[in-house]
Structure 1
Amino acid sequence: MAHANVWNSRPRQYGKGARQCRVCAHRAGLIRKYNLNICRQCFREYANDIGFHKYR
């Protein structure tokens, strides 16, 4: 196995590279609480549909 082939020879099971948004597949800004796995931009868009309401 050459040096260049070693980098992605195994799938990632940990870290930021292993997780992505279930809506848009973005990897940054993930909300993982309650097993949502949605980026913050998509969360703002779909929060009411999911059942999160802003009380003020």
Structure 2
Amino acid sequence: AYDIAGKGVACEDSFRQAIYVAIDVFRNRQREKVARANPLRKQYYEKRDDSDKLKLDTVDED
């Protein structure tokens, strides 16, 4: 790359492509930033405690 610098023989296509990729990366990062800025709150549900289950194998003696 240094041997053709300043001689006007290099093709500008790869530089142009690098600029376009940089713009795409910037825009995608901005979209991701906006999408993650205000997330929905998580909803937690209390798990049932196993001690509330019926115990059918025990017999009440009255």
Task: Specify the TM-score bucket, using the shorter chain as the normaliser.
Answer: under 0.3
Which is strand-richer, 1 or 2? 1
Which is helix-richer, 1 or 2? 2
The structure showing larger relative contact order (alpha-carbon pairs under 8 Å, at least 6 residues apart) is: 1
The TM-score normalised by the length of structure 2 is: 0.25
